[in-house]
Amino acid sequence: MDYEPHARERMGENAWAYISTGTADERTLRANREAFERLRLQGRVMTDMSGAHTRLTLFGDSFEHPIFLAPVAFHRLVHPDGELATAFGASAIRAGMVVSTSASVPIEQIARQATSPLWFQLYLQYDRIFTQSLVTRAEQAGYRALVLTVDAPVTLRNREQRAGFGLPPGVEAVNLQGMIPPPPPRAEPHESEVFRGLLAGAATWKDIAWLRSITRLPLLLKGIMSPADAARAIAEGVDGIIVSNHGGRALDTAPASIEALPRIAEVVAGRVPILMDGGIRRGSDVLKALALGAKAVLIGRPYIYGLAVGGPVGVAHVVKILRTELEIAMTLTGCANLEAIDRSVIWE
């Protein structure tokens, strides 16, 4: 969290309004932190920690630690090299990175920069033919998994609106160039713009089968907060679930991600890997998430703040801090590896 005030100084109010904001009254944004702070850990002593490590395997790839970089749009808002700088920093600390559909650098260039595994985050576009071409590009560039974000077909970010946020010259979603845009809402003044236009092209459950038919990549759904949706996702054949409230940027007054995680883990019952994001600011938060059912976690704003302050070094340093704190928390709770972390580390 020490990076945050320095990042704000460097980012300016326009970028700050976009990166830091939550939806509506930002209650869920705050809840993501507050829920972690309410959880207590059960310390254990004199555990044999010889051979301790934080390694894990996901979808056939090995990772040194369970801290991934979540998809965030427009990294060039905070650093001139954008996602290239992020990928360089992620690779230096061997962190998996999920690249946004709205990246400000072509996904092929990012892939050439990275030496750690990349996943591609997909927003289904109104133009399904273009969407398929995006998936094909990701496959051909060597991305290792497809992450479909499903929780933000519409948004309401008042702080961003009040700040008058706009993309500065030279920053755009370059990977969406050439796409057929959705038609503008055609609602009459007394009709709903949301239902009669803004939802054009939004993902539905039937799209899972379509995505399965066009890609060989493992498919994860990001934005699952309901046990019922988790069960439906598994029934539809997804390979993984990311418990997420979009960093407090989708449905306000939704619970914190860490609060939703245990119920979803109970329904999933180990059938597919679960990841989570939202509110992680300490390595002990990572431990808590793993204890409550996550296989790994994703961070968003923390590494963006690191990118704004220190470029690739800032990204790597943020992950390094979290990994070191995770190792300290594992030591003090008697967990020599990730498999040893379970509900018993949570003080009930």
Would the pLDDT of 267 be above 90? yes
DSSP 226-281: -HHHHHHHHHTT-SEEEE--GGGTSSTTPPPHHHHHHHHHHHHTTSS-EEEESS--
Tokens coding 143: 């991305």
pLDDT score of 305: 98
Report d(CA 72, CA 121) in Å as an integer.
9
Name which of 272, 283, 287, 242 is nearest 260 in CA terms: 242
Work out the pLDDT band at 180, boundaries 50, 70, 90: confident
256 falls within a domain: yes
Would the pLDDT of 192 be above 80? no
212 falls within a domain: no
Q: What percent of the chain has pLDDT over 70?
A: 98
Three-state secondary structure call for residue 32:
helix
pLDDT score of 191: 72
pLDDT score of 197: 66
271 falls within a domain: yes
209 falls within a domain: no
Q: What is the mean pLDDT of residues 281-304?
A: 98
pLDDT score of 145: 98
Give the distance, in angstroms, between the CA of residue 235 and the centroid of all CA atoms in the same chain. 23
pTM listed for this prediction: 0.96
Residues 206-235 as b/e (b if ≥16 CB within 10 A, e otherwise) read: ebbeebbeebebbbbbbbbbebebbbebbe
Which range among 46-50, 102-106, 128-132, 195-199 shows the weakest confidence by mean pLDDT? 195-199
80 falls within a domain: yes
Q: What is the mean pLDDT of residues 8-35?
A: 96
Find the Cα–Cα–Cα–Cα dihedral 319, 324, 327, 332, rounded to 10°. Answer: -130
Q: What is the mean pLDDT of residues 15-20?
A: 95
Sign, CA dihedral 187-193-196-198, equals positive
The answer to whether 65 touches 95, Cβ cutoff 8 Å, is yes
Report d(CA 186, CA 192) in Å as an integer.
9
The answer to whether 171 touches 74, Cβ cutoff 8 Å, is yes
Would the pLDDT of 199 be above 90? no
Would the pLDDT of 81 be above 90? yes
237 falls within a domain: yes
Our answer to whether residue 79 is catalytic in this structure is no
Would the pLDDT of 198 be above 70? no
Q: Which domain holds residue 80?
A: 3-177+219-345
Angstrom distances, CA of residue 229 to CA of 27, 86, 243: 23, 32, 11
193 falls within a domain: no
Q: What is the mean pLDDT of residues 271-289?
A: 98
Assign residue 110 the CATH number of its domain: 3.20.20.70
Report d(CA 251, CA 152) in Å as an integer.
8
Would the pLDDT of 342 be above 90? yes
**Number of domains into which the chain is organized:** 1
* Sheet strands (E) in the chain: 56-58, 61-63, 67-69, 97-99, 118-122, 146-149, 219-224, 240-243, 274-277, 296-299
Could you report the per-residue pLDDT of 221-242, keeping only the tens digit for each?
A: 999 999 999 999 999 999 999 9
Could you report the per-residue pLDDT of 33-59, keeping only the tens digit for each?
A: 999 999 999 999 999 999 999 999 999
Greater model confidence, 27 or 185 = 27
10 Å Cβ neighbour count for 186?
9
Q: Are strands 97-99 and 61-63 parallel, antiparallel or unpaired?
A: unpaired
206 falls within a domain: no
Alpha helices in 39-176 (DSSP H): 83-92, 107-113, 128-141, 158-162
Could you report the per-residue pLDDT of 144-174, keeping only the tens digit for each?
A: 999 999 998 888 899 999 989 999 999 999 9
- Determine which one of 65, 75, 79, 246 is catalytic: 246
First to last CA, the chain: 27
* pLDDT mean across residues, the chain: 95
pLDDT score of 158: 92
Angstrom distances, CA of residue 274 to CA of 14, 156, 325: 34, 27, 22
The answer to whether 49 touches 327, Cβ cutoff 8 Å, is no
Report d(CA 318, CA 346) in Å as an integer.
25
User: What secondary structure letter does DSSP report for 194?
Assistant: I
Q: Are strands 61-63 and 56-58 parallel, antiparallel or unpaired?
A: antiparallel
